Structure 1
Amino acid sequence: MAPRGVLPRRLDGVWWPYSRDLLTQLPLLLAALPTAWGHVTGVTVNATAWSAAPGRMFVANQVVRLHKSVAAPDTVVLLAPGHGRWDLLVVAPDTTEEAAESLMAAALDDPAAGPDGGA
């Protein structure tokens, strides 16, 4: 997760899932989030980047609504009512460790830029 600061960030963190199986990977992500983020009830993912998934799923005894979009191909958006919205860069599961580390460092280093350094 990105450190909190005074400048706005395009990304709040990075997620490097083990596979494109959203039904398996999303519960792992949600379980790893800081408790201060509250309960995530809505998740927006890129429709073409993930295996088929229903419009909602049951995670940790809570319903999470899944929204599919093509607007942000490399991100996932998490919504927690009363707590906020978090945008995470998604590193493709087949990315090498070296490339993933570089992407994660770049994404979280510059408050105004994403993984491309603002270009």
Structure 2
Amino acid sequence: MLAGQLGGEIDGAWWPHTASVATELPELVGALHRALGEIVDIRINWSVTEGQLDLETIATGARLMRAGEHYRRPRLMVVVGRTASAKLLVVPSMTSQALGLMVLRTAAGLPTSGGTGDSRLFETARVVMQLAEAESAKWCNPISS
């Protein structure tokens, strides 16, 4: 799901159906072709050897973090097309449907539930997006020396 306007720290989110991201990439490339043009590059901010964590664990770890500690960062992907590029938060496949949908909508800049519903879920989605935006600022826009 993409935001209406690209160029933010996070332009949308992708929620693969399984943990096999490579298997699902052709579907993502096809879905993004219209918005980005022919896809020419894809970059990720994680190692294939890192196990995926659910978003609830990532958000909880960041909330409990003390000074000097590191938290598991959200997975990001930059998809570069011939006409545009998009920075995507990759929602882990094991994420609950309720949280996954809320994160997809939040990442795309869409309204969530209009103030009703599970406030804990909304707070988790908000923390995940803050972490993703901070990671995007560091990873996608490194300070050059």
Unaligned runs of 5+ in 1: 51-71
Greater share of helix = 2
Matches within 5 A, 1:104-115: 104-109=104-109, 115=129
Q: For each residue in 1:72-95, what CA deviation from the matched residue of structure 2 results, as whole angstroms up to 9, or x when unmatched?
A: 7421111123x1321111100000
Q: Which has the larger radius of gyration?
A: 2
Identify, as 1 or 2, the structure richer in strand. Answer: 1
Q: Secondary structure at the match of 2:17?
A: coil
Deviations 1:34-86 (A, max 9, x none): 42411111111222458xxxxxxxxxxxxxxxxxxxxx7421111123x1321
Root-mean-square deviation (CA, aligned residues, Å) is 3.0
2:81 aligned residue: 80
**TM-score, normalised on structure 2?**
0.53
Identity of aligned residues (%): 25
Q: How far off is 1:106 after superposition? A: 2.4
SS in 2 for 1:14: strand
1:38 aligns with 2:37: yes
Are 1:11 and 2:25 counterparts?
A: no
Tell me the CA shift for residue 99 of structure 1: 0.7
Aligned to 1:91: 91
The total of aligned residue pairs comes to 94
Give, in whole Å, the separation in 1 of the partners of 2:25 and 2:97: 21
- Which ranges of structure 2 fall in alignment gaps of 5 or more residues? 52-72, 111-125, 135-145
Give the Cα separation in 2 of the matches to 1:95 and 1:41.
29
TM-score by length of 1: 0.63
1:109 aligned counterpart, secondary structure: coil
* SS in structure 1 at match of 2:100: helix
